């Protein structure tokens, strides 16, 4: 069913925000470079998704107490980020092209983390996992640009593709048929990243990670080693 967004709601999800800073010059340049002239909204959404998924390496070892870990332009500058930061960048890139976009959150159980990451977290539950919702072809579509293609290869999982139309959430099974990701709780969608809240939640949920030194840690290297 086609969902026509009221003008005010359409503007809410296409205007720049603090963390989804789609007016940042680097974000604008990144988004423009990824989409050819004349592309439809669906084509643009798909191309931007791949650009963020593979152009920004997944890094779960960023500081969850730094607001820059959640800001689109900072994630782009770093060239790596964790799920929320990558979701914010994808939303920002879509807004550059006038595609309404927002960030969504859910608790997910991930059975294919690396052993070192699981030990640091003390759990395989990822709370407030971030993804993106884009409004294309008259409906909100869910897309998760979290895991880059090279990391997926090391984990034995095909990279998750998004065609700009069908929802692309994380695979429930890996290439060998083993359980991969399970969505447990849906926390809804937001105009901007609730960064202050997330920083408090991450400190509460993963208290044992707050004092750990993650410098030099790399999930792709850990995945290859195990």
Q: How far is the C-alpha of 166 from the C-alpha of 73, rounded, in Å?
A: 27
Mean predicted confidence (pLDDT) in 202-218: 81
**Considering the entire predicted model, what is its pTM?**
0.92
Phi, psi of 32 (to 5 degrees): -65, -40
Q: How far is the C-alpha of 86 from the C-alpha of 78, rounded, in Å?
A: 11
The fraction of the chain above a pLDDT of 90, given in percent, is 66
The fraction of the chain above a pLDDT of 70, given in percent, is 93
Phi, psi of 7 (to 5 degrees): -55, -45
- pLDDT confidence of residue 118: 76
pLDDT band at 210 (very low <50, low <70, confident <90, very high): confident
Residue-averaged pLDDT of the chain: 90
- pLDDT confidence of residue 179: 55
- Would the pLDDT of 1 be above 70? no
3-state secondary structure of 143: strand
- pLDDT confidence of residue 168: 92
What does DSSP assign to residue 175? T
Decide which of 193 and 110 is more confident: 193
Mean predicted confidence (pLDDT) in 189-211: 90
Cα four-point dihedral sign 91, 92, 93, 99: positive
* pLDDT, tens only, 46-95: 999 999 999 999 999 999 999 999 999 999 999 999 999 999 999 999 99
Tokens 């993650």 belong to 214
* pLDDT, tens only, 110-121: 756 777 887 777
* pLDDT, tens only, 105-155: 999 887 567 778 877 777 778 889 999 999 999 999 999 999 999 998 888
- pLDDT confidence of residue 2: 63
Max CA separation in the chain (angstroms): 51
3-state secondary structure of 133: strand
- Would the pLDDT of 201 be above 90? yes
- Would the pLDDT of 217 be above 90? no
What does DSSP assign to residue 168? B
- pLDDT confidence of residue 182: 79
Burial of 189 from C-beta contacts in 10 A (0-12 / 13-18 / 19+):
middle
């Amino acid at each position: 069913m086609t969902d026509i967004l009221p003008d005010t709601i359409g503007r809410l999800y296409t205007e720049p925000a603090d963390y989804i800073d789609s007016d940042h010059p680097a974000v604008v340049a990144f988004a423009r470079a990824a989409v050819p002239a004349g592309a439809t909204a669906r084509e643009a959404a798909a191309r931007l998704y791949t650009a963020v998924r593979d152009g920004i390496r997944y890094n779960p070892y960023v500081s969850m107490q730094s607001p820059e870990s959640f800001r689109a332009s900072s994630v782009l500058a770093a060239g790596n980020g964790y799920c929320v930061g990558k979701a914010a960048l994808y939303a920002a890139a879509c807004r550059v092209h006038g595609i309404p976009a927002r960030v969504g959150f859910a608790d997910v159980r991930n059975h294919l983390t690396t052993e070192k990451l699981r030990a640091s977290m003390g759990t395989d539950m990822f709370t407030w996992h971030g993804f993106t919702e884009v409004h294309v072809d008259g409906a909100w579509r869910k897309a998760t640009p979290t895991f880059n293609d090279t990391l997926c290869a090391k984990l034995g999982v095909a990279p998750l593709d998004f065609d700009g139309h069908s929802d692309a959430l994380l695979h429930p099974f890996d290439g060998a048929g083993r359980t991969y990701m399970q969505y447990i709780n849906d926390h809804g969608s937001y105009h901007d990243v609730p960064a202050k809240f997330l920083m408090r939640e991450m400190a509460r949920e993963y208290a044992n990670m707050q004092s750990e030194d993650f410098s030099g840690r790399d999930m792709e290297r850990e995945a290859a080693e195990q």
